[in-house]
Amino acid sequence: MSLRSRPGEARGMRWTDWNRTNGELLIQRSVWRTHETKPKTKQSIRFVTVREDLRTILLDLWKNQGSPIDGYILAREGGARMNLDNESKRVIIPTLARCAVCKKSKAEEHEGHAYRRDDLPEWKGWYSLRRFHGTQVEQESGSTETMSKALGNSPAVAAKHYSKPAEVRPDVRKAVTIALSGLTA
């Protein structure tokens, strides 16, 4: 999943949209519930760069799905599109809300100790990931224009909603990596 895409765009990505040679994903469709459409705006149809950490996650996911030629990238067993809200409730939140002592989720039993939350940040939702990556792109490129193109927004919208100039904290970067690795497990 490209973290620069909207959740609906991520749900609509297919394996044929990933150009491994050029290291990019074509964002060309969006899925809301059961409706598949074009992305939100004309400028939202775009290529996004697949960085090495995302490439590794995509390769793991591709192998776990049996190396498909086509089909949805974010697919449930059997090929149906994944519901990202359900996935965050079932996988990401429990992965991030784990015990500092035994590393088990809050819902599991903690023998010999009381549950104590790990120091990872709480999950704030899919759009917080867009803000995280918008901030990263802007910091690395030094350009709001580049960030807006990466996110598929106008420069004004990107600057207003996705530019968060504070430094991306190491614990947030760690949480994002852990959360995404939970999707490939």
Q: What is the pLDDT of residues 39-81, one digit of tens each?
A: 888 888 988 888 888 899 999 999 999 999 999 999 888 888 8
The alpha-carbon radius of gyration of the chain (Å, integer) is 17
Report residue 158's pLDDT band, with 50, 70 and 90 as the boundaries: confident
3 pLDDT more than 60: no
CA dist 164 to 7, 72, 144, 145, Å? 19, 31, 11, 14
Q: Which residues contact 117 (CB under 8 A, 6 or more apart)?
A: 97, 98, 99, 100, 106
CA dist 42 to 7, 29, 82, 93, 158, Å? 17, 11, 25, 33, 15
Write down all domains in the chain, each with its CATH number in brackets: 1-82 (1.10.443.10), 83-185 (no CATH)
